[in-house]
Amino acid sequence: MTALDPLDAAMMTAELLSNPMHVGAVLILSPPGDAGPHYVDRLHREALAGNDPIDPRLRRYPHRGVDTGGMWVWRDSDTVDMRRHCQRRKVSGGPDGFWRLIGELDAERLDRSRPMWMSYLIDGLEDGRFALYIKVHHTVIDGVAGFQMITDALSTDPKRRSMPPFYADCRGESAPPPPSAGVASRVLAPLRTLVGATASSLGLIERVVAGELSTAIDSLVGHTTVLPFGAPYTRFNGRLGPERAVCAGSWAKKRIQDVQRAAGVTSNDVITAVVAGVMRTWLRDRAELPKQSLVAACPITVRDRERDPSNDQHGNMFGLWLCPMGTNVADPVVRLDVIHRSMVEGKHWVAKRGSAASLLTNAGSIAATVISPLLPFTPKIRTGFNLPISHVPGPRDEMYWNGAHIEEMYPVSTVYDGLALNVTTCSYADRVGFGYAAGREVVPDIEALIPLTEQCLTELESAVGSRSAP
């Protein structure tokens, strides 16, 4: 058994009081030309056969009890019942029915008594297509690593067959598990970790204090970030409710790149500006648009330059930056400029101070956002930020799995009380997928965000003089 690190243990405990904390992905596939009428049935039978060794990360499950001194630890399952982890669904009702099903599946909690992941093979889509929905608990894997795990199971060769499933251990034979330790040793292990971390804590504290001062000065003078409680309260910052709503759509990467070149910004800046336009329009149409700009929590990649370059795909670290979205201005070019200036400063800020310091510096804003909804009498005046916006890099080439073409790839990210709307985008081949996830009570018409995304991208294209064909 291995002790969970403090962050993972905190997430496990928080989930007992709040909402499920898993991440997911949706792949929409078209069968190969030689597929027979029972192609999806055969895929499901092969998944249930479970002949491939399973990735060690997908064999473990959390446990806390008297035998662990009340601490969270990982236990390994000797066997994994594929009938419980690889399930089959059939959908009807077109795209709306499909995304409604994804929302229902996303709302279900993962069973802690067994490895915390599920996959669903879904058929009944238009034109004979089918889908794979995968969800994994956030303590097991994060969104970037999850997409990498899925990508590693795919191929650029449409003729390749007999490919292992995503859950297979493709890293060779695993090392034998360490010998079992006694209760005292397991209890003291996190303390040893804490003592080791203390050696570098003075430098971290110095960076955090410097970061707090820099954030305060920049908020007051440069207007490129915000202080804790610096975001206006919106419906996205309330209680989530029991149901989920999910929708997604993809757009040509060239359209985003053309705006990027015309405006002299990054592609992620363009994507964030499009989302800002969507939020502004959706809230304005409901007479709920605050006079103050909404604030997005944006992860920023921090690459460890001392890492082996061969591990770049798996060696990313992330800091956090609070980016004003410019929703208080009508001009889309001004919004894009606000976002670009903020993110330039954010990348410099996080690179200088490190990911840990950036997270600790923003701890007040995080706490203000996720704790306030749990209190019985919270004034709905200010919050830490309004929604997270993340960008996940996906495969650059068209991908296949056992001859089936991956037509679309979308993230389904975590939502919880205080952050009832999450926007995550994923690049794939020549497209960029926008994935929206929310509490259904908070965004009951979430499907309306897809045409709004097209509308806001078109407005931005027109405003900067870019006219790519859809």
pLDDT at 180: 40
pLDDT at 49: 85
Residue carrying structure tokens 């009890």: 65
Q: What is the mean pLDDT of residues 176-201?
A: 38
Dmax (CA) for the chain in angstroms is 67
Crossing angle, helix 332-353 and helix 253-263, to 10 degrees?
Answer: 90
301 with 415: CB under 8 angstroms?
no
Looking at the predicted structure, is the pLDDT value of residue 188 above 80? no
459 with 277: CB under 8 angstroms?
yes
Distance CA 433, CA 274 (A): 13
Distance CA 25, CA 249 (A): 13
Take residue 169 and report the two structure tokens written for it. 């251990």
Residue range 420-463, pLDDT digits in tens: 999 999 999 999 999 999 999 999 999 999 999 999 999 999 99
Q: All domains of the chain, ordered by start, with CATH?
A: 2-171 (3.30.559.10), 200-394+418-464 (3.30.559.30)
Residue carrying structure tokens 């092969």: 46
Looking at the predicted structure, is the pLDDT value of residue 281 above 90? yes
Q: What is the mean pLDDT of residues 280-309?
A: 81
116 with 22: CB under 8 angstroms?
yes
> Of 8, 7, 28, 11, which Cα lies nearest the Cα of 19?
11
**Cβ contacts of residue 54 below 8 Å, gap of 6+?**
80, 167, 168, 169
Tell how far CA 310 is from the center of its chain: 24
Looking at the predicted structure, is the pLDDT value of residue 94 above 50? yes
pLDDT at 252: 97
pLDDT at 220: 40
pLDDT at 404: 96
Residue range 133-145, pLDDT digits in tens: 999 998 888 777 7
pLDDT at 13: 81
Distance CA 3, CA 9 (A): 9
* Residue 358 host element (H or E): helix 355-361
Q: Indicate the average pLDDT of the chain.
A: 82
Q: What is the mean pLDDT of residues 402-416?
A: 94
Q: What is the mean pLDDT of residues 341-360?
A: 78
